[in-house]
Chains A and B, each alone.
Chain A
Amino acid sequence: MTPVLEVRGVGYQLPRGGRSLVTDVHFGVGAGETLVLLGRSGSGKTTTLKLVNRLLEPTTGEIHVAGRTTSEADPHRLRRGIGYVIQDVGLFPHFTIEQNVGLVPRLEGWTPDRVAARVRELLTLVGLDPDHFAGRRPHELSGGQRQRIGVARALAADPPLLLMDEPFGALDPITRVELQREFKRLEEQLRKAVVFVTHDVREGLLLGTRIGLMQDGRLVFVGTPGEFRRSDHPECRAFLEAVA
């Protein structure tokens, strides 16, 4: 089976001969898999994520999403076909929850009835009562509710691939664990290909089917959580010792 996402020899160098932020990264992610990109701040995790949906353009290498080469796709169409969740959520404050969740389907020209039905389905999926929440605005919601909306919004057009950049990083510890568990359950049900960036080892071990460890812009280790625990790579040890 071909993976949903294939990253081949990808690198990113800042413009005008600047520093290399990502160097020669290879990985693949299939449906139902969650690849956790783990690493310290500045190790290139977020940059790698943004290279996939072309918020940044790779300077070397190739990326394939659902069999298509991203560099040949229209970047806007490409991004509409990839769910994207960020730490600060970025809900539109002047939109209702319904408008926020239905944004990509509307950009894609779905009929209003179809968008409305999809929004109800998604709100229910992330555990929020549509009758109660659809008409509200983001400022009326708690942090955890907002990120649930962020996840619902990313799933709206049913993309095969989800990119998540420390989605639960800004939440209080209890809400964070709740959302992690819900997300795990959701992923077992939906079986998307997920790339999940975090610097929290526990989160990585809980959610990842595989862990990719980044250090100085390179992917220095890829393996299952079990392999990660047993690895004698110094950076793996450093992360494990930090939570021991």
Chain B
Amino acid sequence: MSLLDFYARNSREALGLLGEHLFLVVISTVVAVAIGVPLGILLTRRPGWRRPILGFANVCQTIPSLALFGFLIPLPFIGGVGARTAIVALVVYALLPIVRNTYTGIVNVDPAVREAGRGMGMTDRELLVMVELPLAAGVIFSGIRVATVIGVGVATLAAAVGDGGLGVYIFRGVSVVDDTLILAGALPAALLALAADGLLGLVERRFAWRT
């Protein structure tokens, strides 16, 4: 059976899984941005926290993703079988690139620009909002882009904890040794990753200030 035949017969299910997949990636990226950007800003204000926090985020990133889903299942409140577990795991993966790029983007703002701003009497908040964040926006968006692309891939594992998404086809295909079924999950996931990359890349370029 060809891939097109498969989609023609299972269009409702396929679209449903694509929707679940998108939902997982969007929610987890939004949560990761909401946590990661403020955390990255905090690290620029508390240099002593940089090593422990970036170190911890780094360690999280090294946990094999399937293992992370497995670890989370038995945990109370955040674990269990279902969307919550998958979202927590995806947020953990998305955090590092977002925190790191927020921190790096702000720290790499031209020191002369920062000194001029402070010398003209800008408060720390004014400097952050009017200067540092706009100038770091390109780097921050590049972190969000990386996080999203990783998220699209990792979200295929959500199926392992019973949370649907395009991984359902992949796992099913692997268990019955059906290449078409594996492709039915993998191909749209790959296209989704490319689309997210392209779209967020456009946003990123919008913030490339010439100096």
Check if B110 is an interface residue, CB within 8 A of chain A: yes
Contacting pair B118 A55 (CB below 8 A): yes
Contacting pair B112 A90 (CB below 8 A): yes
- Given A89-B112, A90-B112, A107-B126, A55-B120 contact (CB < 8 Å): no
Q: Mark A133-165, 1 if CB is under 8 A from B, else 0.
A: 000011100000000001001100000000100
Find chain B residues with CB under 8 A from A154 CB: 120
Find chain B residues with CB under 8 A from A77 CB: 121
In the bound complex, CA of A184 to CA of B164 (Å):
73
Contacting pair B117 A90 (CB below 8 A): yes
Find chain A residues with CB under 8 A from B130 CB: 92
Partner of A86, one of B119, B121, B122: B119
Check if B209 is an interface residue, CB within 8 A of chain A: yes
Check if A94 is an interface residue, CB within 8 A of chain B: yes
Minimal Cβ-Cβ distance residue in A for B120: A104
Contacting pair B210 A90 (CB below 8 A): no
Minimum Cβ distance to chain A for residue B118 (Å): 6
Contacting pair A90 B121 (CB below 8 A): no
Find chain A residues with CB under 8 A from B118 CB: 55, 79
Partner of A139, one of B114, B115, B135, B210: B210
Check if B175 is an interface residue, CB within 8 A of chain A: no
Minimal Cβ-Cβ distance residue in A for B210: A139
Find chain B residues with CB under 8 A from A153 CB: 120
- Given A93-B210, A93-B211, A139-B211, A80-B131 contact (CB < 8 Å): no
Find chain A residues with CB under 8 A from B211 CB: 93, 138-139
Contacting pair B122 A90 (CB below 8 A): no
Contacting pair B209 A84 (CB below 8 A): no
Find chain B residues with CB under 8 A from A84 CB: 116, 119-120
Q: Mark A65-87, 1 if CB is under 8 A from B, else 0.
A: 00000000001111111001011
In the bound complex, CA of A79 to CA of B116 (Å):
11
Find chain B residues with CB under 8 A from A138 CB: 211
- Given A107-B126, A137-B210, A93-B135 contact (CB < 8 Å): yes
In the bound complex, CA of A94 to CA of B211 (Å):
9
Q: Mark A93-111, 1 if CB is under 8 A from B, else 0.
A: 1100000000110010000
Most interface-central of A79, A88, A90, A91 (chain B CB within 10 A)? A90
Contacting pair B119 A91 (CB below 8 A): no
Check if A53 is an interface residue, CB within 8 A of chain B: yes
Most interface-central of B114, B120, B122, B209 (chain A CB within 10 A)? B120
Find chain A residues with CB under 8 A from B117 CB: 90, 92
Minimum Cβ distance to chain A for residue B111 (Å): 8
Find chain B residues with CB under 8 A from A91 CB: 113, 116
In the bound complex, CA of A75 to CA of B127 (Å):
14
In the bound complex, CA of A104 to CA of B118 (Å):
11
Find chain B residues with CB under 8 A from A80 CB: 120-121
Minimal Cβ-Cβ distance residue in A for B126: A107
Contacting pair B119 A79 (CB below 8 A): yes
Residues of B within 8 A of A (CB): 110, 112-123, 126, 130-131, 134-135, 209-211
Residues of A within 8 A of B (CB): 53, 55, 75-81, 84, 86-94, 103-104, 107, 137-139, 150, 153-154, 163
Q: Lowest 3 CB-CB distances: which A-B pairs, in order?
A: A90-B116, A79-B121, A88-B112
A-B contact pairs, 24 of them (CB 8 A): A76-B121, A76-B123, A77-B121, A79-B119, A79-B121, A80-B121, A84-B119, A86-B119, A88-B110, A89-B112, A90-B115, A91-B116, A92-B113, A92-B117, A92-B131, A93-B211, A94-B134, A94-B209, A103-B120, A104-B120, A107-B122, A137-B210, A139-B211, A163-B119
